[in-house]
Amino acid sequence: MLKLASVTRRIPVSAIAVAQRVGVSIVWRRDYSKIYPSADKAIEDIPSGSTILFGGFGLCGIPEDLIGAVANKPQINNLTAVSNNAGIDGVGLGKLLNTRQIKRMVSSYVGENKEFARQYLCGELEVELTPQGTLAERIRAGGAGIPAFYTATGFGTAIQHGGTPIKHTTDGATEIAAPPREVRTFNGRDYVMETSITGDYALIKAWKADELGNLMFKASANNFNAPMATAGKITIVEAEEIVPVGELSPSEIHIPGIHVHRIVKGSKYEKRIEKVTVRNDDESHADLPPAMQKRIKIIRRAAREFKDGMYANLGIGMPMLASNYIEPGTTVHLQSENGILGLGPFPLQSQVDPDLINAGKETVTVLPGGSFFSSDTSFAMIRSSRLDLTILGGMEVSQTGDLANWIIPGKMVKGMGGAMDLVSAANTKVVVTMDHNDKSGHPKILEKCSLPLTGVGCVNRIITDKCVFDVVPGKGLLLRELAKGVTVEDVRSSTGCNFEVAADVAETY
């Protein structure tokens, strides 16, 4: 039996009279209030073994008080936690990892959470790694009552074939492996089937909630909160502000109250930022270390890919720097997969906002005309090829354009994040930026990738510190440009596959 809070408000008689005068029949039962006195009360009936959806992206928009309340009740354990990632060590869901209350994580990204990676690699934690856009859509579908759907994301990779460890043994072998996906062909293209996700509970964070449970999110704190609010059998909202019914304009409401069952007012916000990144307009490249200067050279060349009016997505790390080198007079609309269109430069220190971060968890600004939206909406843009260009990093690229950039089995687990979704968009140009060789001097451009794939035949162009390759469908690599001081023979000796040389190849950057 669902335990409900006590009665607090009923419809004013005057409101009923007004509705009756205009011929409206009201059936608004306020037999109970959705407002709970504390996070502890709101989560006290969560049983062990539950599946819980946790809103947020990184540390942005996470329900801090609700997570803390669960962490304070160690008897709530053996949980399946669905979240894009698991915070950082000891913060956000990192708290529940430390208390060993989570049995399985369903996530797209491990990132910088060392304890998350350690527990997974040591066989202490089950981890179901899922492409970020697929994760968002699985949750959205669950909230919409759709049991499954097909997507091109992950076709030809371990997502389709299965076998990726969900759980390791203590000696590193695979104890539980991900199952293969069903495949179907539509209009000549192959797709994998993904099942939807619902939660016994959804714990989410809102900026404002009214007493009916109508919700507003702030800036990029919308992210996974919106779809998760619809996919919980019991949705519990932690709101920064609770306002009376009618104070939120209907056009301001992101999630209607029909999806919300319990509301608590947050009280102990840290709003920690993973990567406070600010701009320095006086920065000089001359003082940068050689490795960074090499990266700047790659990124300056990558920035030439931008054309006026383009919509583009820049991957975390080195690709994100390309926005600093857009040619004056060129307008590029930058999209971030956590729910932003119209990214601006990094903020000044005075502009830092914990509710405004990019997909790399860095603080950002938004240009006039920019917009915010949920993670499922963001990846709908991506999958439908609304983006003209995506620039990503890479660990390996094959001569046929296969990309690997998300895991080194048994050693390094970053997760695929949104990369698999980005490279699966049929009509989006994919450019990979990376060092030509690894730290040991081994080539990263190969006949065949040795690491698990992010995408098959998805790369259009490779830009390294030595050269620019185009991937020519059905033929292989074509050397188009050279970095200054680099010869064709230099490229041959440092590349792990054969390639053709364009007749007009020249030093261009």
d(CA 273, CA 357): 9
Among residues 62, 18, 127, which one has the least CA distance to residue 409? Answer: 127
* End-to-end CA separation in angstroms for the chain: 68
8-state DSSP, 25: P
* Both tokens assigned to 429: 């140009």
Spatial CA neighbour of 132 closest among 152, 109, 157, 156 = 109
- State the Cα–Cα distance between residues 223 and 185, nearest whole angstrom: 31
Q: Are 455 and 407 contacting, i.e. CB atoms less than 8 angstroms apart? A: no
**Residues 286, 135: Cα–Cα separation, whole Å:** 42
What is the helix, strand, coil percentage profile of the chain, to 5?
25, 30, 45
In 3D space, the residue among 439, 481, 443, 445 whose CA is nearest the CA of residue 294 turns out to be 439
The upper half-sphere exposure of residue 121, i.e. CA atoms within 13 Å in the direction of its Cβ, equals 16
What positions carry a catalytic annotation?
337
CA distances from 39 to 76, 171, 237, 267, 451 (A): 14, 40, 9, 9, 44
- Sequential DSSP letters for 398-429: ETT--EE-SEETTTEE---TTHHHHHT-TTSE
Dihedral of the CA atoms 372, 377, 383, 387 (nearest 10)?
-20
Closest CA to 471 of 435, 429, 504, 426: 429
